[in-house]
Amino acid sequence: MKEIVLITGANGLVAKELSKQLEKEYTLRFLTRKKQRNNEFEWNIQNGTIDESAFENISHIIHLAGANISEKRWTDERKKELISSRVDSAGLILKTLKKNNLKLKSFISASGINYYGTKTTEKIFTEHDASGNDFLSEVVVVWEKAADDYKEQNITERVVKIRTAVVLSEKDGALKKMIPTIKMGIGSPLGNGKQYMPWIHIKDICSIYEFALKNSTLDGAFNATAPEHTTNENLTKKIAEVLKKPLFMPNVPSFVLTLLFGELASALLEGSRASSEKIQKMGFQFQFPELKGTLEDLLK
């Protein structure tokens, strides 16, 4: 009999791709705001309601729910939403599991590479490093704490936190936004372009979740970022190279991005490197460790 995996954030890019990877070996269920298929179950985080039948006989939860960090300006209201969609959602599930006296084999949670702070330094961060002290790192800290509560309250055997870099996919996210301007010949790096941009191929991030699901020795936090580091400028140039388009526009000035996006601009203008050595030492192998090969795979 197949193990049952419950996935949150059902409409997100990673959940859609990951479910294709897992559906042969596992019975999948999804928590969603509006039920459309038999394996979907409704929940409302703001109202604190959830269809408890979603939890019958489940072994694992993959928690991918979370409002998009870069979709809107960070007003006070939006900041609350970014935290609530991650933390309150995890809390609602935990409360439901406790109420029904249910235990899991694993709780695998999305997390962010911004745990280390949004700043450009020469340091390459590892999982041993402390968290940063800006808004994004604060989001990640409380997000991971909500995941750790599952183990602390004896609801799961293990908690795995996947500190995710920018996911590259032609279907959604940063790459999809960059392609049109580069194709039109008006693409250019942001700010000075020297900010590091941790990245990962969509197939590799899904494979990391599958690896975490199948390997009971995995526990704790893992950086999910490709081994090859890049800057915003290098990424922009490489996309143009693969698309065979010239880049002749000047960099987008920092003040323009700040005017457009407010505090959110910091996430675009700053960035550090992180090491994925820990997960590789556990036996994970990247299918797309290099940027050029990744872009060729996604764009051709």
Render 46-95 in DSSP notation, one character per residue.
TTTEE-GGGGTT--EEEE-----TTSS---HHHHHHHHHHHHHHHHHHHH
Average pLDDT for residues 36-51, to the nearest whole number? 93
Higher pLDDT: 248 or 52? It is 52
Look at the alpha carbons of 170, 109, 159, 210 in this order and tell me if their dihedral is positive or negative: negative
Q: Give the residues across from 215 on adjacent strands.
A: none
The confidence score (pLDDT) of residue 248 equals 82
pLDDT digits (tens, 9 = 90+) for 249-278: 888 878 888 888 888 888 888 999 999 999
Higher pLDDT: 256 or 27? It is 27
Query: What is the largest distance, in Å, between two alpha-carbon atoms of the chain?
Result: 61
Query: Which tokens belong to 192?
Result: 């000075």
pLDDT digits (tens, 9 = 90+) for 103-160: 999 999 999 999 999 889 999 999 999 999 999 999 999 999 999 999 999 999 999 9
Say whether pLDDT at 161 is over 90.
Answer: yes
* 3-class SS of residue 174: helix
The confidence score (pLDDT) of residue 3 equals 97
Say whether pLDDT at 186 is over 90.
Answer: no
Average pLDDT for residues 3-27, to the nearest whole number? 95
Higher pLDDT: 209 or 266? It is 209
Report H helices in 130-262: 135-152, 173-183, 202-214, 232-243, 254-261
The confidence score (pLDDT) of residue 257 equals 81
With a pLDDT cut of 90, the percent of the chain lying above it is 82
The mean of the pLDDT values for the chain is: 94
* pTM for this entry: 0.95
Query: Which tokens belong to 270?
Result: 């700053």
Cα–Cα distance, 168 to 150 (Å, whole number): 30
pLDDT digits (tens, 9 = 90+) for 86-101: 999 999 999 999 999 9
In order of 142, 200, 205, 287, 288, the CA distances from 17 in angstroms are 26, 14, 10, 15, 16
Average pLDDT for residues 53-82, to the nearest whole number? 94
The confidence score (pLDDT) of residue 249 equals 84
In order of 42, 49, 73, 119, 123, the CA distances from 236 in angstroms are 40, 43, 23, 19, 22
Question: Residue-wise over 182-195: b if at least 16 C-beta within 10 A, else e?
Answer: beeeebbbbbebeb
What class has domain 4-232+261-299? alpha beta
